[in-house]
Structure 1
Amino acid sequence: MRQDLSRLVDGTTYRSGNPFDLWRRMRENEPVLWHDAGIFGEFWSVTSFTAVKECLRDPDTFTSSSGTLLRPLSQGHDPGSGKTLALSDAPRHTALRAAVADWFSPRSLRTLTAAVQSAAHATVTDAVAKSQVDFVVDIAAKVPLEVVWTLLDVPTADRAELTGWSMDAFCAGTASERSIAHLEILDYFSVLAEKRRSRPGNDLVSVLATAEFEDTRLPLDEVVLNCDNLLVGGTENVRLAMSGGMQALLERPEQWALLRDDFDRVIPTAVDEILRWTSSATHLVRTAQRDTEIGGRRISAGDRVVLWLTAANRDPVEFAAPDTFDVTRSPNHHLALGAGPHYCIGVQLAKLEIRAVLRELTSQVRRASPDGPAERLESIVVNGLRSLPVRLDAATKACQRRT
């Protein structure tokens, strides 16, 4: 098994979509395993549900501030380390989370519901009119981007260009194209954050631009990094979950029928099953701040621990028939969006977006079918699809369900 571990840090493993056998053998034989991953250095791999959850819920022992993703050692520390919501611990993490929390509260979500439903309706209507679409680009990416532009109050005149950069940053074919697009996004938010600092509005950029930590405003570079973090967190996970969920439904017509025929009853469990099944964040990294123990293995202070979320979400100790996609699965306490103090702050918004798109699809579409081979991302960071060609045959007006 050890000779196969290099596959975990090889993007081609995830492009093929089949790392699950390796994770299964790791869970069964060495769920906490030390190994050297070459350019990524040494770390512990953790694959069992219980151990992954324990680490995520213990920020006093396992810090996020040293980086949360595997990156080549030659690249040094993540520039967001200790600065962004995802890459900081208390008290900075607590302060940042408190600053933006109200935007993701039930009250705020109620005001966003109409915007989400409108975006989902318009996006699916356009896709159905085309009939043959790339589900990733034409549906799954569009809705969360529209919602994020609303939260950040991106001027309408800028949205098309920023959407183009975002699509390139997430879905472009080469690393160079993705990098250039990402730099364009950072430059844009640098200008926008400076404007909102001098003339704040009612939006998340303004909240971050005027936020304080220990009686001092956040430096502008930290504001920009947090805007970028919200863009990625608010769009990438939803896009990947939505498109991966659609692929699972296309491959299992009986599951699509369950959802379509009894939507209101099935949709709550279906959304969580899509999140578990897709587990779009492949891993999270934590660094031990003191000597400790995980699953009977001694962990030394300074050791990095890689928590394979996708592996944990297929652990049969926690999930019955974990390799079965079941839209009625309950209970379903997956870790797709983390756990503990870093549990995704936008989880309810993400679920709202997925639910809205599925409602439109099951209402407007008579039949959905694959229209060519799907292509997966070649990434060790995120798990999911680059493209998913589908054909959407419109339902007749008489058969459309009221939304």
Structure 2
Amino acid sequence: MHIDLLDPAPFGRNDFWSAFTWLRANSPVHWHPEPGGDDGFWVLSKHRDIMSVYADSDTFSSAQGMRLGSDPAAVAAVTQRMLIVSDAPHHTRLKRALYQAFGPQQMPKMEALVETVVGELVAEAADQDELDFIDLAKQLPNRVVCAMMGIPRADWSWIGALTTDAFDSPDESVRSSAHSEIFLYFIELLGERRARPGDDLVSQIAHDTLVDEGDGTERPLSDEEIVFNCNGVLSGANETTRYSAAGAVHMFAQLPEQWDLLRGLGAAGIAPAVEEILRWTTPGVHALRTAVRDTEINGTPIAAGDRVTLWNVSANRDEDVFTDPHSFRVDRRPNRHVAFGHGRHLCLGARLARFELGALLIEMLDRFDGFELTGPALFNSSNFTWGIRSLPVRLLRSRAFAQAERAAL
């Protein structure tokens, strides 16, 4: 079977799954050449191998890039200062410092914000009856993270569009330009917050967050560390929730019995449904690591300097781990998906993304009896961050909710 994971077209058509089914069965540690040269990379498609590499950050480095197609100069500019392209010990210290802003002590404030945003968005959508659901899905994480960071409301839409370009555009020059604009924006915002701190995430990171240097001393985060990681927070917050929310509604429209099942399960069904949505959609398609020494994966020799790609979308369909993996089941248990990665690089915003999806499900279960597709779902053509970019739907408003609304008037 011809495998070309650098071709974006199959991702745009949502028909790349058979390639990974073949790889898992026939070549789980697969050498993938690159066109026009001798370079290439290893493709890991099995859950066990991917988990093993994620867990072995001493052998497999993130500092030389975390995705295929990255600009080496851009990677060099942020390495060891941005979490996703850092290795221990600096990654450990930086993540521990940033965790102060995202840890359990911050969740009540974040949860209250999420519930407010979700309530507003779903109420706005219910008034329309028909809409492109991605318009709602992309606004949820964008409004939440922009409010958390104290970004002026007038800039929210622009920031959201820029973030999509920075991480999803197939054009490297577009991605690079968008990242530069985001960095410049946060440099200006950080300058304002250093001079006049407020009750927001950027102010907290700038003034109250310290990095333990490992020798008994602590230091504030540098401007570069703050700016680069604010960019990372934007991407992680926006892309995962957007694509997972849209993917969920897509499946509920095709499988209304799953929506009915979730309604019947009540509050106890929300957490497993969120995990299944994350497994099914897996917006973070692949991650890249570079071997720092000779090693082997599942009996295959890997040389120092070799690039190794971890295909989360394949791990989350692995027949050895998931019963009936190509079925969407909101009550699936257990669910050992790797939608947020694994090990030291487990996504910092995973808790927030889960809460956003759960809050959205709860609000929609109250308001809607289901969803009908009014046009085809369109997918973006990316082998890195992937999902639905357009989902025309009709919202089937709940008669019980409408009656309750009328009774309350």
RMSD: 2.5
2:268 is aligned, of 265, 268, 284, to 265
TM superposition shift of 1:226: 1.1
Query: Which string of whole-angstrom CA distances, capped at 9 and with x for unpartnered residues, describes residues 227-254 of structure 1?
Result: 1111001111111111111111111111
Alignment of 1:3-402 (within 5 A): 4-6=2-4, 8-38=5-35, 41-71=39-69, 77=75, 79-137=77-135, 139-163=136-160, 165-166=162-163, 182-210=179-207, 214=213, 217-398=220-401
Distance in 2, Cα, partners of 1:37 & 1:142: 37
Distance in 2, Cα, partners of 1:175 & 1:306: 19
TM superposition shift of 1:164: 5.2
| Secondary structure in 2 matching 1:18 | coil
Distance in 1, Cα, partners of 2:340 & 2:387: 15
CA gap of 1:17–1:75, structure 2 versus 1, over 3 A, is: farther
What is the identity, as a one-letter code, of the residue corresponding to 1:184?
Answer: E
Worse overlay, 375-384 or 154-163: 154-163
Distance in 2, Cα, partners of 1:305 & 1:400: 56
Distance in 1, Cα, partners of 2:296 & 2:387: 32
What is the identity, as a one-letter code, of the residue corresponding to 1:159?
Answer: W
TM superposition shift of 1:79: 3.7
| Secondary structure in 2 matching 1:117 | helix
What is the identity, as a one-letter code, of the residue corresponding to 2:138?
Answer: A
TM superposition shift of 1:198: 3.5
TM superposition shift of 1:98: 1.4
Worse overlay, 370-379 or 79-88: 79-88
**Matched-pair contact (CA < 8 Å) for 1:194–1:209:** no
TM superposition shift of 1:323: 0.7
TM superposition shift of 1:103: 2.7
Distance in 2, Cα, partners of 1:351 & 1:170: 21
TM superposition shift of 1:145: 1.0
CA gap of 1:381–1:296, structure 2 versus 1, over 3 A, is: same
TM superposition shift of 1:179: 6.1
Query: Which string of whole-angstrom CA distances, capped at 9 and with x for unpartnered residues, describes residues 301-333 of structure 1?
Result: 111100011001101111111111111100001
Distance in 2, Cα, partners of 1:118 & 1:377: 29
| Secondary structure in 2 matching 1:45 | strand
| Secondary structure in 2 matching 1:9 | coil
**Matched-pair contact (CA < 8 Å) for 1:85–1:226:** yes
Query: Which string of whole-angstrom CA distances, capped at 9 and with x for unpartnered residues, describes residues 271-317 of structure 1?
Result: 00000011111100011111111111011111110001100110111
Distance in 1, Cα, partners of 2:77 & 2:107: 31
**Matched-pair contact (CA < 8 Å) for 1:13–1:19:** yes
Distance in 1, Cα, partners of 2:244 & 2:282: 7
Where do 5+ consecutive residues of structure 2 fail to align? none
TM superposition shift of 1:85: 1.1
What is the identity, as a one-letter code, of the residue corresponding to 1:49?
Answer: H
What is the identity, as a one-letter code, of the residue corresponding to 1:227?
Answer: C
Report the number of matched residues. 398
**Matched-pair contact (CA < 8 Å) for 1:285–1:307:** yes
What is the identity, as a one-letter code, of the residue corresponding to 2:108?
Answer: R
| Secondary structure in 2 matching 1:330 | coil
Distance in 2, Cα, partners of 1:255 & 1:390: 17
| Secondary structure in 1 matching 2:108 | helix
Distance in 2, Cα, partners of 1:156 & 1:375: 29
Normalising to structure 2: TM-score of the pair?
0.90
Distance in 2, Cα, partners of 1:340 & 1:222: 21
Normalising to structure 1: TM-score of the pair?
0.91
CA gap of 1:296–1:174, structure 2 versus 1, over 3 A, is: closer
Distance in 2, Cα, partners of 1:95 & 1:84: 12
CA gap of 1:74–1:163, structure 2 versus 1, over 3 A, is: closer
What percent of counterpart residues are identical? Answer: 37
TM superposition shift of 1:367: 3.2
TM superposition shift of 1:77: 3.8
